[in-house]
Structure 1
Amino acid sequence: MNRLQSELQRLYHSPEAGQVRAMVLEVGRPASWDALGKAWRGVQADLGLPAPAIAVSGADAFQLWFSLAQPVPAQQAMDFLDALRRRYLGELAPERVRMHHGAVLPPLEASPGRWSAFVAPDLAGIFADEPWLDLPPGPEAQAELLSRLESIKPQELAAAANEAPAPAASAPTFAAAPEAGHAGSPAPSIAGGADPRRFLLEVMNDRAVDLRLRIEAAKALLPYVEGQPP
């Protein structure tokens, strides 16, 4: 067994069926280190967890690989990952976030000439447009990256699980930064007894408003427009 294999086994191998030691949180389609980097920093600063490994998938995503010191049931791992998703990645479309148990470990040739690999935090942004390596990563360099990582101890996982659920949403505000090339308009207001339907239409059509709020406004308008001719 070489050094890389030893590090992979130390961090992620679980000998028990139905139990896992690897938890993987992935953002892709398209890949975004800006989004996943927020989770990487947050689990350390907010939850007190050891830094997870960072990897490029070899296809279309960035990944965080969490290592558990002791195996846990697969469903418990998925529940924890989902709590992290809601806390740190709730703004992303659901199809851009994947969670799994790390059955296939990097480095691996995902497709001809495109390798998955573990990468250093200060180099992750380099792979924003192409989340893969063109050549097989050196096993010694991969092993060195992994050697700096620690597994999450049971008491750390328990404490983080109590903190991980997403905070309660605050009352929405409609102010938002204007899109590039678009002059922002004042935030819509319903003060003064304005017509609710007109207010919702203003929100839905205002490109300066966060897209999620525009979608919610469109949903709220459905009862007023269903069955009406276009």
Structure 2
Amino acid sequence: MRLIDQLQRLYCLPQQSGHVLPPGAAVTAPARRLAAADLERGPAGEAAIALHLTSPEGYARALVVEFSRSAHWPQAAALCQALTGELELPAPAVAVGGPAGYQLWLSLAEPQPVATLQAFLQALVHKYLADVPAAARRCYPVDGGEGNDCPHLPPARLANEGWSAFIDPTMGVMFADETWLPMAPNADKQADMLAALKSISTTDFQRALAQLQAESAAAVANEPLAEPPAQPIAKPFSVAPAATAASLAAPSLGSQFSDPRDFLLAVMNDAGASTEQRIEAAKALLPYFHGPKR
């Protein structure tokens, strides 16, 4: 079947595992090896096929970005344009239906470590999908076990009797109200659509990842530094002006002195005066008791 050949060419690992489920059912059992006959049950409307994207060695060759709300088609379309324009990568496949409103499927020519793929997806989300709430988007491959790493492969019958399918990206806005097809898509048309797509080479993938990481680092470096918290302004340290002989007056001395020298002597010897006052009085008296040194 041509459609199955194209699905395997673009998205399947050499030893692809996954789940064959009733339409709308959740993953509850361990993944098993999928044969071509299993994959054919999806387009035939007999089952939903959930691909386990990660190999036992921790590699994957398909990346999927899901938008759970049809209102986010503008962001999905903008991401498609960024992948082919700014990042110069082959166009992703666009699908409607399944558990998600829209899906973007990216194919890698060679499997890459899942940690590297997650870094790429994280950089994509940071740059292009920051305005899409985390609850409204999902990226694969993810951590957390087989059941969390299994996007449903189009085309397939849905629980609401509609169909998931790959679509022409220019027609995405037409599915804003109902993100599924009311009838089974033509298998040959689906195959033709996928046959026109190319996988991302390892060289191009590494270049795009480096570009995204460099732009992210530059954005962080250009962010203005946070202003440090305001520090309380310390009051300037003030030094009281030095006391002068004229300002020294012990409260207990009264005004009974007419001779300045007697007054200063009284201050110097007054136990009620402060030490500073007594020292200043002594300094003022020095000229009266010591002549100039020879």
User: CA-atom RMSD, angstroms?
Assistant: 2.0
Residue 129 (structure 2) pairs with residue 89 (structure 1): yes
Deviations 1:174-198 (A, max 9, x none): xxxxxxxxxxxxxxxxxxxxxxxxx
TM-score, normalised to structure 1, is: 0.69
Structure 1 counterpart SS, 2:158:
strand
**What is the rounded CA distance, in whole Å, between the counterparts of 2:130 and 2:151 in structure 1?**
25
Question: Which residue, out of 93, 100, 110, partners 2:140?
Answer: 100
> What displacement does 1:20 show?
1.1
**8 Å CA contact retained: 1:25, 1:64:** yes
* Percent of aligned positions that are identical: 37
- Contact 1:59/1:132 (<8 A) preserved: no
The one-letter code of the counterpart of 1:9 is Q
* Structure 1 residues 59 and 105: CA distance shift in structure 2, 3 A: closer
Aligned-pair CA distance for 1:161: 0.1
The equivalent position to 2:106 in structure 1, one of 66, 90, 104, is 66
Q: Distance in 2 between matches of 1:114 and 1:78?
A: 31
SS of alignment partner, residue 204 of structure 2: helix
Retained in 2: the 8 A contact 1:58–1:133?
A: no
Q: Is the 8 A contact 2:94 2:166 kept in 1?
A: yes
Q: Which residue of 1 aligns with 2:8?
A: 9
| TM-score normalised by length of structure 2 | 0.54
Q: Give the structure 2 partner of residue 40 of structure 1.
A: 80
Tell me what 2:184 maps to. 136
Distance 1:115 1:109, change over 3 A: same
Letter in 1 for 2:62: A
Is the 8 Å Cα contact of residues 110 and 116 (structure 1) preserved in structure 2? Answer: yes
**Over 6 Å off, 4+ runs:** 169-172
Q: In the alignment, is the contact (CA less than 8 A) between 1:26 and 1:97 conserved in 2?
A: yes
Between the two proteins, the alignment pairs up a number of residues equal to 171
Counterparts of 2:152 and 2:60, CA distance in 1? 13
Runs of 5+ consecutive residues of structure 1 not aligned to the other structure: 173-230
Task: String of CA shifts for 1:37-60, please: whole Å, max 9, x gaps.
Answer: 110000111111000000113344
* Alignment deviations for residues 68-108 of structure 1 (CA, whole Å, 9 cap, x no partner): 00011222222211111111101111111100136431112
Corresponding residue for 1:203?
A: none
Unaligned runs of 5+ in 2: 15-54, 142-149, 225-294
Instruction: Write the letter of the residue equivalent to 1:89.
Output: L
Q: Report the Cα distance in structure 1 between the residues aligned to 2:204 and 2:198, rounded to whole angstroms.
A: 12
Name the SS for the 1:66 alignment partner: strand
**Equivalent position SS for 1:42:** helix
**1:175-194 mapped onto 2 (5 Å cutoff):** none
Residue of 143, 149, 158 corresponding to 2:197: 149
